[in-house]
Every structure is written in C-alpha cells, then in structure tokens.
C-alpha cells in the first residue's frame, strides 16, 4: 500500500494562505484585524485557508487578483470563501 502525501490532495498551505489573505485585502478586509476584533476566530481563518486549498481554483484566483485595480465590492463567485468574505466585508 502506498501512502499519499496530504499535500498532493490539498494545495500548498503557504500559497493558499496568501491567496485567501489577498482576496480579503482586495475587498478591504484585514483578517488579522478581524481576529483581533473577534469578528473571525483563528479556527475560522484556518478553515478558510483549508477551503481554499481544496477548491481547485488557485489559477483563476491569481488571474482575478492580478486584474484588481481598485477595492472589490465582493469576493469572486468562484471563491470557496466568497460567502465568508462577503459576510466580513
């Protein structure tokens, strides 16, 4: 039996940490401040990164981020965290 590295099932944690954080920033959201203010827990933040890792849309997300020239009014529809980010906005 071959053991599978969990990183092959989910995307790289660092990459998806920064994608999640970057989409939030484009919306004017600081996830760090959100945690400090009690609007999001560290566990919810970790879940957001995990959702991003398993969503399979990182390339689409990178293109979306590259196109942002001003504050986004909402998360992109394809984003696995759209609902959570829109609620925080």
Model pLDDT for residues 51-80, shown as the tens digit of each residue: 999 999 999 999 999 999 999 999 999 999
Query: Is it the case that residue 40 has pLDDT exceeding 50?
Result: yes
Q: Are 57 and 75 a contacting pair, CB within 8 Å? A: no
pLDDT-based confidence at residue 5 (cuts at 50, 70, 90): low
Q: Which whole-number Å values give the CA distances from 42 to 3, 36, 39, 56, in the listed order?
A: 30, 10, 10, 23
The pLDDT value recorded for residue 15 is 95
Gyration radius from the chain CA atoms? 14
The pLDDT value recorded for residue 1 is 42
Q: Kindly report, residue by residue over 8-34, the tens digit of the pLDDT.
A: 567 799 999 999 999 999 999 999 999
């Amino acid at each position: 039996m071959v053991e599978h590295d969990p990183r092959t099932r989910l995307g790289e944690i660092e990459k998806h940490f920064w994608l999640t954080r970057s989409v939030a920033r484009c919306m004017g959201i600081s996830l760090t401040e959100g945690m400090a203010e009690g609007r999001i827990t560290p566990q919810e933040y970790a879940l957001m990164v995990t959702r991003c890792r398993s969503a399979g849309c990182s390339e689409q997300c990178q293109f979306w981020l590259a196109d942002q020239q001003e504050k986004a009014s909402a998360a992109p529809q394809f984003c696995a965290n759209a609902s959570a980010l829109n609620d925080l906005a």
